[in-house]
Amino acid sequence: MTQDELKALVGQAAIAYVQPGSIVGVGTGSTVNHFIDALGRMPVRVAGAVSSSVQSTARLKALGIPVLEANDVTRLGVYVDGADEIDAHGCMIKGGGAALTREKICADLADKFVCIADESKRVDVLGRFPLPVEVIAIAVAQIMRRFAAMGGQPSVRANVLTDNGHPIIDVRGLSITDPEALEREINQWPGVVSVGIFARHRADVCLLGTSSGVQTLTYDRD
Ligand SMILES: O=C[C@H](O)[C@H](O)[C@H](O)COP(=O)(O)O
């Protein structure tokens, strides 16, 4: 199977977690695009979606699925999103598509985070994928110095501003053995909007697309 076929497989499989008539949280990316298409094929559809990006909003609306603002809901039963990497505890790196801040807001609203990913995303230690960090523009230089001091190689993502109008720093060369601690630390730096480590808001379930089918991985909360 191709990587895109694996993404389509898990996008469809995530529908099992979606209650018809409910409001669902929708992530961003090429895997989630398959999930959105599957939402459009539900015999009884969702009542609406809270979207994590302009891109997903456009795709949802094109299928006639109403999109609500995060401010308009108090909770989401389920949030479905992809990942750039996921470890054995459900901690993830996200933000390869620059949507990390809105994704974390949606994850925070959700009772259950269902991660959909092809098997290439499963890692033992996070950090092979460059860590995305959304920052306020005037703090870029200082935040890059902080990452360099901890052994990372930061660079500003060229020609990209997030949906919130901020630049992204991508940090290569980090071996993230304690995702929770690093997320907490980076969150405290002035000028950081969001860091793409999702440890506090880790996945509850990962539907992993493999050549032998969908593997369902579940993670315990401490
Ligand atoms: O900002 C983007 C998101 O975090 C995506 O969920 C992540 O980059 C995975 O995207 P894809 O499904 O395209 O690999």
Q: What is the pLDDT of residues 173-212, one digit of tens each?
A: 999 999 999 999 999 999 999 999 999 999 999 999 999 9
Complete DSSP assignment for 53-69:
SHHHHHHHHHTT--EE-
Cα distance between residue 162 and residue 98, in whole Å: 6
Cα distance between residue 170 and residue 113, in whole Å: 24
What share of the chain has pLDDT > 90, as a percent? Answer: 99
- Has 103 been annotated as catalytic? yes
What share of the chain has pLDDT > 70, as a percent? Answer: 99
Cα distance between residue 204 and residue 110, in whole Å: 11
Pocket of ligand 1 (CB under 6 A): 27-31, 81-84, 94-100, 103
Which residues, 6+ apart, have CB-to-CB distance to 131 below 8 Å? 93, 95, 152, 170, 171, 174, 176, 195, 196, 197
Cα distance between residue 59 and residue 17, in whole Å: 20
Per-residue confidence (pLDDT) for residue 178, from 0 to 100: 98
Tell me if 112 is assigned to a ligand binding site: no
Question: Any idea which residue has 């860091």 for tokens?
Answer: 195
Q: How large is the ipTM?
A: 0.98
Query: Nearest-CA neighbor of 169 among 182, 178, 160, 177?
Result: 160
Domains and CATH numbers, the chain: 3-123+200-218 (3.40.50.1360), 131-196 (3.30.70.260)
Q: Name the residue of 2, 4, 6, 31 whose CB sits within 8 Å of the most ligand 1 atoms, as the mutation to test its pocket.
A: 31
Per-residue confidence at 118, pLDDT binned at 50, 70, 90? Answer: very high
Cα distance between residue 147 and residue 158, in whole Å: 18
pTM of the model: 0.97
Per-residue confidence at 222, pLDDT binned at 50, 70, 90? Answer: low
Average pLDDT over residues 64-71: 98
- φ, ψ at 132 (rounded to 5°): -80, 140
Atom index in ligand 1 nearest the CA of residue 98 equals 1
